């Protein structure tokens, strides 16, 4: 069916074959039309006296139309060999063949009725001649021949059967089968020959293309040496690769030309030794990468060579091809370098550090020694990035890496894990003091000032270490344990070295479980607010409450804020929890007298979060609390993270009508600039100064007096925290503080107890 054109995908793989079949039709068009015309004239001569003219004229007209259409279509297909034949074109050709077959089949069925038996046989002879001619002429495109043979042949069988000549009908049927089979066989042979010819032509074209590409390539050349390995038949391109003239190369030793200065010393690179050995052993080689010296320049060549033999089988030298692969080699080396080194600092990256640690652990296991892994994190680096930009931060990291490399010995390898985290692998840490010495050297060296683009910068470092195989037997576990130790060092304030201890695993697991429980705390309704009163120092009347968060879990019981608040800040859970605190505190404050305010502590994560001012506005609107009754408490540490964003957010909150208090003043990086830039309503003096003043500490007394004087001059109020006794309250009152907060006036209490305080005060006034 595919051979006839009735199978296969004409638009794809068979379209080319259709073109080969149909392109040959035009060569025999004139002959076939002439044969059909002559056959028609003979038929007219036989039947004209007996067949009515009104039958002959339409028949002749139909045959003329069919032959004209066939000639037109086959002419259009004359260039089919050079293009793709469409389905429409193939269908037109099949239709024209079917029309021609139908015209002759009609003659075979109708005309014998008007003539004698002899005329009937003569008509069959004419038709059989056309069948045989079509089988010979249409071997390239067998569909037309087969359609004509089958169509006209079936009509002939019918006409003889109607005439009662069954024996001749059988003969006609045999003739049809033989003719159709012969046509298909010849067509198959022709098409196979065309396919083979096209394949040979395509292969020849590919070979020519490859040879042309090789000849035109500037990176490839042919080389040839004799039995003494001297260069012969020098090509211009080979001479260009050696940066010499052809005359200077011919007859020179091949190895001398490509070895450069090493020819005199004999200290060849290993790749040249390999090439020399292969030439010596007279063995073929392919794609051999060789390091060569062209003048003073190092290059990489890829060589292939084959021994040459004469007619008698005697070795006459080598012949081969070569190409300069220096750029590809350098690119692959650069890719390999990028995969193992940090591009900013030039230090080994995490992958190479892990490989080095793996080697160190195998060495320690083999020789029953110890290795160590130190993780280093820069302190206060984020402040540099935030204040001066990442470009300054990157230059600072580069200087840090230079200092680290300067204190490393052959026993240590330092690298960068990412960000501001570095690491050191100590291959042999059998000396217990070695780890401590390296850690202390790192901390001392990195804490010295840096000069970066006219900026004097100070950053410190924290170090956590783990020793293998004591602390872990795998690379991943040892790195994780060193990270736990580093986490402990950061918790202790930074600038220290902490060694891994098994208890850190317990702490980490407890922290993980606590974090999981904290994520469910809001939806499980485990959080609550307690309120601690703040009183007027003169009248001792309650002027506000500070909202304090409490967490009670079924599994862990009551958890201290000291434990879960830092966890919430690290995991950013403080943002949704802080929103809940704001809404709950505002809602509760609406149950108090209108003169009483509520103070809510806000962490840096909350304040620096986008749209925090909208969160405050939403809490006020949802509860109906007047803005002036909400006081936001912040600490100085917020301004160290992002001074601009923090100040802009607080100004929006102040514009809403809320007040802002500066908590724990004097315990952090106190700066009078904060007080000048923002309109704080209250400065809260930390309890450590209150207790120091109660113990007659001159420094604490001086600090409290200074803060009070400064607040008075700036029209700000002062609140003393941590007042626990009447004596402390009297002292604070004498020092001039406006408000007092502490256990002496009330511990943090549930909301119902806070409301009861107001009820009791009201009852006393009425009494």
Q: What angle do CA 422, 423, 425 make, to 5 degrees?
A: 160
- Where are the chain's structural domains? 15-201, 220-332, 341-500, 515-762
**pLDDT tens sequence across 162-183:** 888 888 888 888 888 888 777 7
Residue 192 pLDDT > 80: no
Residue 32 pLDDT > 70: yes
One DSSP character per residue, 572-640 reads: TTHHHHHHHHHHHHHHHHTTS-TT-EEEEE--HHHHTSTTHHHHHHHHHHHHT--GGGEEEEEETHHHH
Residue 11 pLDDT > 50: no
CATH number of 220-332: 3.30.450.20
Is the previous residue joined to 92 through a cis bond, with omega within 30 degrees of 0?
no
Residue 203 pLDDT > 50: yes
Residue 740 pLDDT > 70: yes
Mean pLDDT of 205-211: 51
Residue 12 pLDDT > 50: no
Given a contact cutoff of 8 angstroms between Cβ atoms, the answer to whether 34 and 71 are in contact is no
570: closest CA among 614, 642, 640, 508? Answer: 508
Position 36 confidence tier, pLDDT thresholds 50, 70, 90: confident
Kindly compute the dihedral angle of the four CA atoms of residues 704, 708, 709, 710, in this order, to the nearest 10 degrees.
100
Residue 723 pLDDT > 50: yes
Task: List the single range of 84-98, 389-403, 457-471, 597-611 with lowest mean pLDDT.
Answer: 84-98
CA gap 92, 111 in Å, rounded = 29
Position 79 confidence tier, pLDDT thresholds 50, 70, 90: low
CATH number of 341-500: 3.30.70.270
The residues, any chain, with a CB within 8 Å of residue 577's CB and separated by 6 or more, are 521, 522, 527, 549, 568
Q: Is the dihedral of CA 139, 140, 142, 145 positive or negative?
A: negative
The values of phi and psi at residue 96, to 5°, are -65, -40
Mean pLDDT of 723-728: 91
Residue 190 pLDDT > 60: yes
Residue 210 pLDDT > 50: no
pLDDT at 497: 94
Task: Determine the angle formed by the axes of helices 726-735 and 687-694, rounding to 10 degrees.
Answer: 100
Residue 678 pLDDT > 80: no
CATH number 3.20.20.450 given to 515-762: yes
State the average pLDDT for the chain. Answer: 83
Position 572 confidence tier, pLDDT thresholds 50, 70, 90: confident
**pLDDT tens sequence across 404-443:** 999 999 999 999 998 899 999 999 998 888 999 999 999 9
Same fold, 220-332 and 341-500: no
Mean pLDDT of 298-304: 87
**pLDDT tens sequence across 317-336:** 998 888 888 887 877 777 77
CA gap 221, 239 in Å, rounded = 9
Sheet holding 297-309, edge to edge: 220-225, 315-324, 297-309, 285-294
- Look up the pTM and report it: 0.51
Mean pLDDT of 9-15: 50
End-to-end CA distance of the chain: 116
Position 27 confidence tier, pLDDT thresholds 50, 70, 90: low
Residue 455 pLDDT > 60: yes
Given a contact cutoff of 8 angstroms between Cβ atoms, the answer to whether 574 and 603 are in contact is yes
Q: What percent of the chain has a predicted confidence (pLDDT) above 70? A: 86
Given a contact cutoff of 8 angstroms between Cβ atoms, the answer to whether 627 and 658 are in contact is yes
One DSSP character per residue, 647-690 reads: HHHHHHHHHTT-EEEEEEETSSS--HHHHHHS--SEEEEPHHHH
Mean pLDDT of 42-67: 81
The values of phi and psi at residue 739, to 5°, are -135, 155
The residues, any chain, with a CB within 8 Å of residue 46's CB and separated by 6 or more, are 115, 119, 122, 123
């Amino acid at each position: 069916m595919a051979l006839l054109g009735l199978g296969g995908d004409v638009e794809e793989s068979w379209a080319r074959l259709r073109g080969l079949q149909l392109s040959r039709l035009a060569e025999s068009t004139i002959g076939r039309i002439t044969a059909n015309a002559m056959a028609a004239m003979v038929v007219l001569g036989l039947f004209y006296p007996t067949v009515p003219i009104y039958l002959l004229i339409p028949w002749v007209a139909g045959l003329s139309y069919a032959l004209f259409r066939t000639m037109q279509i086959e002419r259009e297909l004359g260039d089919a060999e050079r293009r793709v034949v469409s389905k429409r074109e193939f269908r037109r050709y099949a239709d024209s063949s079917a029309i021609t077959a139908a015209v002759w089949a009609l003659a075979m069925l109708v005309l014998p009725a008007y003539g004698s038996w002899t005329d009937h046989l003569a008509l069959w002879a004419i038709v059989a001649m056309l069948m045989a001619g079509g089988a010979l002429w249409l071997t390239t495109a067998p569909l037309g021949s087969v359609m004509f043979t089958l169509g006209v042949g079936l009509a002939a069988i019918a006409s003889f059967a109607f005439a009662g000549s069954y024996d001749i009908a059988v003969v006609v049927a045999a003739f049809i089968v033989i003719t159709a089979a012969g046509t298909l066989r010849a067509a198959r042979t022709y098409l196979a020959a065309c396919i083979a010819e096209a394949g040979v032509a395509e292969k020849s074209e590919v070979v020519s293309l490859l040879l042309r590409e090789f000849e035109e390539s500037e990176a490839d050349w042919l080389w040839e040496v004799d039995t003494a390995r001297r260069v012969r038949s020098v090509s211009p391109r080979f001479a260009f690769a050696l940066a010499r003239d052809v005359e200077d190369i011919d007859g020179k030793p091949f190895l001398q030309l490509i070895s450069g200065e090493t020819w005199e010393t004999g200290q060849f690179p290993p790749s040249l030794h390999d090439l020399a050995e292969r030439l010596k052993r007279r063995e073929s080689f392919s794609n051999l990468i060789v390091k060569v010296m062209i003048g003073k320049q190092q290059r990489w060549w890829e060589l292939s060579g084959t021994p040459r033999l004469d007619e008698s089988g005697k070795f006459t030298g080598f012949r081969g091809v070569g190409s300069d692969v220096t750029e590809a080699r350098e690119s692959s080396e650069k890719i390999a370098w990028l995969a193992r080194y940090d591009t900013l600092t030039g230090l080994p990256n995490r992958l190479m550090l892990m490989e080095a640690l793996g080697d160190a652990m195998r060495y320690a296991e083999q020789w029953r020694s110890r290795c160590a892994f130190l993780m280093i994190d820069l302190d206060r680096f984020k402040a540099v990035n935030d204040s001066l930009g990442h470009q300054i931060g990157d230059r600072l990291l580069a200087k840090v890496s230079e200092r680290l490399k300067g204190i490393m010995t052959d026993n240590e390898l330092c690298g960068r894990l990412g960000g501001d985290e570095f690491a050191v692998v100590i291959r042999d840490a059998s000396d217990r003091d070695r780890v401590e010495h390296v850690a202390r050297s790192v901390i001392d060296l990195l804490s010295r000032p840096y000069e970066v683009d006219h900026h004097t910068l100070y950053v410190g470092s924290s170090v956590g270490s783990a020793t293998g195989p004591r602390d872990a037997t795998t690379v991943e576990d040892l790195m994780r344990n060193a990270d736990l130790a580093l986490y402990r060092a950061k918790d202790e304030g930074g600038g220290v070295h902490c060694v891994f201890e098994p208890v850190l695993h317990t702490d980490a697991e407890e922290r993980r479980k606590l974090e999981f429980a904290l994520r469910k705390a809001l939806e499980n309704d485990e959080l609550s607010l307690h309120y601690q009163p703040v009183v007027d120092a003169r009248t001792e009347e309650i002027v506000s409450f500070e909202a304090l968060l409490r967490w009670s879990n079924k599994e862990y019981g009551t958890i201290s804020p000291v434990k879960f608040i830092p966890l919430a800040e690290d995991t950013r859970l403080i943002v949704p929890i802080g929103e809940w605190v704001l809404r709950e505190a505002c809602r509760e404050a609406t149950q108090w007298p209108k003169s009483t305010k509520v103070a809510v502590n806000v962490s840096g994560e909350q304040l620096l979060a986008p749209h925090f001012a909208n969160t405050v506005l939403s809490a006020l609107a949802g509860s109906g609390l007047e803005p002036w009754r909400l006081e936001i408490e912040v600490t100085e540490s917020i301004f160290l993270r992002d001074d601009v964003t923090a100040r802009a957010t607080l100004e929006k909150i102040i514009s809403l009508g809320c007040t802002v208090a500066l908590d724990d003043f004097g315990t952090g990086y106190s700066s009078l600039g904060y007080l000048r830039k923002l309109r704080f309503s209250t400065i809260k003096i930390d309890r450590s100064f209150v207790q120091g003043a109660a113990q007659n500490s001159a420094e604490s007394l001086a600090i409290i007096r200074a803060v009070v004087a400064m607040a008075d001059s700036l029209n700000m109020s002062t609140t003393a925290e941590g007042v626990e006794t009447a004596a402390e309250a009297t002292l604070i009152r004498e020092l001039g503080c406006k408000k007092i907060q502490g256990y002496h006036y009330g511990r943090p209490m549930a909301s119902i107890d806070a409301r009861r305080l107001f009820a009791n005060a009201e009852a006393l006034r009425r009494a």
